[in-house]
Structure 1
Amino acid sequence: MSILIRQASIIAMDKQHGSTPFVGDILVEADRIRAIGPDLGPPVADTVIDGRDRLVMPGLVNGHLHSGEALFKGRYDNMPLELWMLYCYPILGGQPPGDRLIYLRSMVVAMESLKNGVTTVVDDVYELGGQSMDQLAQVFQAYDDAGMRANVSGHIMDRPFLDTIPFAHEMLPADLRAKAGALATPGMGDYLDFCRSAAARFNDRSGRLRFMIAPSAPQRCTEPLMLAADALARSIGSPFHTHILETKTQAVTGPEFHGKTLIRYMHDLGLLHSGTTIAHSIWVTDDDIALMGDAGCSIVHNVISNQKLGAGIAPMRKLLDAGVNVALGSDGICSNDTPRMFDVMHAAGLLHSVSSPDYDTWVAASEVLECATIKGAKSALLGHETGSLEAGKKADLVILDLNTAPFTPLNDLRNHLVYCENGSSIESVMVNGEIVVEDGKLVRVNEGELLAELREAWAAYRPAHAATEAENAVFHPYFAAIHKRCTSMDVGINRYGSDMPAWKGHNRRAS
């Protein structure tokens, strides 16, 4: 089947045009863009779409998310990462969700993403008690059914949990150290075998899906695992996707554990390279940024999640200027509470203007669009396939109606997309040459039925999770003390939106 979009406003994000709009045609044949240009001549296609008063842009790329958190959206507030993880990623584990619930939580992310113009997601999936192949298959099945493009990981941590947090052994009482220490850690050989099997089973499924290698973080994984995972990622063409320096506690972690920053630690292990994608990268030093730029690695800026968890403000301008490939991500669907990338773009466009009075350093709407499209695709090692509208690339695109309030009156389309649009103007979404959202509605799946099923399944699972929260709450005051100790330390930089925190001597707990 072929589709011709005629005389639309186009933001291609290619090398020729960048984010500069132009009017033209796009011819899609099968799963790829066959041609794009000002005028492709008389219509010769199975379907012709009138592009007048329409904007066509590349599908948005969510460079980092955790779909497993979709069950907990709207559940927590006013907790920094180290406390929030006690409830969303509980130390003592809990009852794993059933396979159908895993499918449904993945599907709600896929549905909301597609309806809001996200055609590609990078989903770092963690399962309580370790991930099985059947559980992973449910995530892939959901994205396959919805029609998304996705990199999906099997998340792993192989260090004992208390060994990943500075001062934990010192500040926790013996009974809680014993509880945490009794938990088994996964074996490196089993994890690598799992990854090889998953890649063989899922890579290139439906021309849209791939398995991704994603060891959690350098402080949570042993050196042998990080090195072996990197070698495997290179061999199968996967990003080496990890988390580094999200919080000030993690800025303390590197010097406490290794006598150097975590970025320097990664560099010294040979783990900084163009295939490395780092989620967050907030508490990086200038030396760290130089190392990252020289390596040509990527970071994913999760601007909304970082604000909600009080993690700090990533030095986006410094990272961009150093040559680091900066993508945008929602992060978890509980630390952001939505996978909507228009929200992320809006926040990224605004936040960095308060980081400096030097307005020449502020992040422009055109740069935000680049980070949400082609740079996001590059961070997923998919830049050769998606992220821009070019002949030969996959047909992943979004059609927006310009006769809507967010585009009225019409001025600079780039500014409208970043500062005005919220996804409500989206008319159609195409992934892999297939229209998966039409007239604002999902084509492949019944959204209402799936949402109703998820609500029922969550009602049945919620008591088990509440019991898990209660069991893990015993760690709360001790982790609050660790957080206070670490954030009160001088690490040579400040990534908060204010001077050092003024402690009031109280800590809120999840209800």
Structure 2
Amino acid sequence: MDLLVTDAVIVTQDAERTILDRGAIAIRGDRIADIGPTARLEAAHPDLPRMAGRGKAVLPGFVNAHTHTILTVLRATVEDWSGNAVYGYMSPVSYTMTPHERAVMGMLGIVEGIRSGTTTFVDPFRHVPDYADAMASLRVRLVLSENCADVNTLKIRHGDWSQDPAFGEGFLERTRAGIARFHNTHEGRLQIQIAAHATDNCTPEYLEKLTDLARQHNMPRTIHLAQSVEEIRVIREKYDCTPAEYLARHGWAEPDVVGAHWTYLTERDIALLGERGMQMVHCPANGSRRGPHPVLAKSIRRAGINICFGTDNMTEDMFHAMKIGLIVHRGAEGTQGTEPQPEDIFDSCNRNGARSIGRQDDIGSLEIGKKADLTFLNLNTPALRPVTNLIGNIVHYGHPGTVESVMVDGEFVLRDGKVLVTDELALLEEAQAVTKAVWARMLANNPDLPPPRKLNWMDV
């Protein structure tokens, strides 16, 4: 699309974090052609169709650096259950679903994310070939991966952490298929990366196989790290070390690796990972459902580690992540105060997220030559007025209802509040029916799984 947006507040997120009042941004095709004062750009680009931006803020589209969109199927259930949801429900439900059901719930998550201002989704899960095309049809930027493991995650809830080579090979086959079929497709918006599920379900030799794949295809890597007390215990019993030390021993504490959560890392672990240059994706909202996430966020920041934000599961709301993230990081390690500032949190949702997937030259900020991935906020909403410190307004008080339009690769996927890439109402209705069917089938197939809470289905 060729377009000139005029008289807007342009939040560039460039190296100087420049914010232009009454600024303009010129888009030609899928790239940003120019940014600057409205009068100069109107004179320089007289041929471009114009869009009035008065009362709007234009931001880099959010980068959700860690999510599992298909787990929208568990929304408002396991959040209020006290057990290990990862192995107790998330793994069983992912194997219960049909390819079509996975695609429907993944699309639901993407649409919610679009309405929350997100243009890039990093989504490690299972059975990527089942849903990659469907999710990519919504024209967002995707980084998908198989959550590879060679310990059968369906058996872990029964206390079995033994190696299962056949189980592991299934993931490798789907990863190879995903690379061959999907990497750099859909006009380059769909990328594949390499993912190890977690330290407690990936053996050393399996991690080596995944590293070989990453090196062969020049892909970044990701893994869940220290996300449960069970993981800490199993790694100690098997390898006499912490999960961070385990990764360092086997070449996974490196700059191309993004570790999710870091919930139970020690100060020593953090120092080790900081020295190795590993990156962190924090999901503070999801991690705080049972109380404020106990991550040592201040120590991680002091170690100079790149911190990006994600939503993890059952939500795609990056505003939610920013609000709770600010609280968690300020209150980390039993402290209170005003550090980090909103600007630091905001960086975690764009610049830092782009860096985590090696895309900082293309996305994460609004600069000439970069991709036209934009989020438009309506500043004429009570939650964002009065505008005093715009980034503070967004981080403290922004919400999905303030998102007016979203553009990816120079094309609107949401405009003036309307989703343009799918029939949203039909998708919502299908997702409701899919979720009800999946729950009934999962509980029937796994009689040891009690409903985590009463399921109160509504005929909506």
Compute the TM-score of the two structures, normalised by the length of structure 1. Answer: 0.82
Partner of 1:71: 73
Partner of 2:424: 447
Q: Using a 3 Å threshold, how does the CA distance of structure 1 residues 234 and 321 change in structure 2: closer, same or farther?
A: farther
Partner of 1:251: 232
Contact 1:328/1:372 (8 A) holds in 2: yes
The answer to whether residue 203 in structure 2 is matched with residue 203 in structure 1 is no
SS in 2 for 1:305: helix
Contact 2:96/2:441 (8 A) holds in 1: no
State the Cα distance separating 1:440 from its structure 2 match. Answer: 1.0
Work out the CA distance in 2 between the residues paired with 1:349 and 1:312.
Answer: 12
Q: Using a 3 Å threshold, how does the CA distance of structure 1 residues 264 and 94 change in structure 2: closer, same or farther?
A: closer
Partner of 2:148: 156
Work out the CA distance in 2 between the residues paired with 1:41 and 1:161.
Answer: 58
Residue 51 of structure 1 is aligned with which of 50, 53, 69? 53
Query: How big is each residue's C-alpha offset from its partner over 1:234-258, in whole Å with a ceiling of 9 and x where there is no partner?
Result: 3323221100111233333332222
Residue 320 of structure 1 is aligned with which of 297, 301, 318? 301
Work out the CA distance in 2 between the residues paired with 1:204 and 1:161.
Answer: 29
Query: How big is each residue's C-alpha offset from its partner over 1:141-198, in whole Å with a ceiling of 9 and x where there is no partner?
Result: 2222211111111122202559968xx76xxxxxxx6xx97x9553555543432331
Residue 461 of structure 1 is aligned with which of 408, 430, 438? 438
Alignment of 1:204-219 (within 5 A): 204-206=184-186, 207-219=188-200
The answer to whether residue 113 in structure 2 is matched with residue 113 in structure 1 is yes
Work out the CA distance in 1 between the residues paired with 2:133 and 2:46.
Answer: 35
Q: Percent identity?
A: 26
Work out the CA distance in 1 between the residues paired with 2:406 and 2:154.
Answer: 45
Partner of 1:5: 5
Contact 1:157/1:186 (8 A) holds in 2: no
Alignment of 1:307-346 (within 5 A): 307-309=288-290, 312-333=293-314, 338-346=315-323
Contact 2:119/2:141 (8 A) holds in 1: yes
State the Cα distance separating 1:231 from its structure 2 match. Answer: 2.5
Contact 1:153/1:212 (8 A) holds in 2: yes
Contact 2:103/2:135 (8 A) holds in 1: no
SS in 1 for 2:4: strand
The answer to whether residue 357 in structure 2 is matched with residue 380 in structure 1 is yes
The answer to which of 407-416 and 311-320 deviates more is 311-320
Alignment of 1:249-328 (within 5 A): 249-309=230-290, 312-328=293-309
Work out the CA distance in 2 between the residues paired with 1:45 and 1:323.
Answer: 45
Q: Using a 3 Å threshold, how does the CA distance of structure 1 residues 510 and 19 change in structure 2: closer, same or farther?
A: farther
Query: How big is each residue's C-alpha offset from its partner over 1:55-76, in whole Å with a ceiling of 9 and x where there is no partner?
Result: 1111111111112211111122
Work out the CA distance in 1 between the residues paired with 2:290 and 2:146.
Answer: 24
Query: How big is each residue's C-alpha offset from its partner over 1:17-49, in whole Å with a ceiling of 9 and x where there is no partner?
Result: 326555422111111111222332424344211
Question: What residue identity is the alignment partner of 1:201?
Answer: R
SS in 2 for 1:353: helix
Query: How big is each residue's C-alpha offset from its partner over 1:210-241, in whole Å with a ceiling of 9 and x where there is no partner?
Result: 11211111221111111121221133232211
Contact 1:227/1:271 (8 A) holds in 2: no
Partner of 1:36: 35
Q: Using a 3 Å threshold, how does the CA distance of structure 1 residues 471 and 253 change in structure 2: closer, same or farther?
A: closer
Partner of 1:137: 129
- Where does structure 2 lack aligned partners over 5 or more consecutive residues? 455-460
State the Cα distance separating 1:354 from its structure 2 match. Answer: 2.7
Contact 1:274/1:297 (8 A) holds in 2: yes
Contact 2:34/2:368 (8 A) holds in 1: yes
Contact 1:245/1:280 (8 A) holds in 2: yes
Residue 223 of structure 2 is aligned with which of 236, 242, 251? 242
Partner of 2:89: 87
State the Cα distance separating 1:85 from its structure 2 match. Answer: 3.0
Aligned residues: 450
Work out the CA distance in 2 between the residues paired with 1:25 and 1:62.
Answer: 26
SS in 1 for 2:251: coil
RMSD (Å) for aligned C-alpha atoms: 2.6
State the Cα distance separating 1:82 from its structure 2 match. Answer: 2.1
Partner of 2:166: 186
The answer to which of 76-85 and 42-51 deviates more is 76-85
Question: What residue identity is the alignment partner of 1:155?
Answer: N
SS in 2 for 1:154: strand
Q: Using a 3 Å threshold, how does the CA distance of structure 1 residues 463 and 309 change in structure 2: closer, same or farther?
A: same
Work out the CA distance in 1 between the residues paired with 2:53 and 2:333.
Answer: 40
Work out the CA distance in 2 between the residues paired with 1:159 and 1:95.
Answer: 15
SS in 2 for 1:124: strand
Work out the CA distance in 2 between the residues paired with 1:189 and 1:466.
Answer: 27
State the Cα distance separating 1:78 from its structure 2 match. Answer: 3.2
Work out the CA distance in 2 between the residues paired with 1:4 and 1:370.
Answer: 26
Q: Using a 3 Å threshold, how does the CA distance of structure 1 residues 442 and 246 change in structure 2: closer, same or farther?
A: same
Question: Of Structure 1 and Structure 2, which has the larger fraction of its residues in strand?
Answer: 2
Contact 2:12/2:366 (8 A) holds in 1: yes
SS in 2 for 1:142: helix
Question: What residue identity is the alignment partner of 1:365?
Answer: P
Q: Using a 3 Å threshold, how does the CA distance of structure 1 residues 102 and 37 change in structure 2: closer, same or farther?
A: same
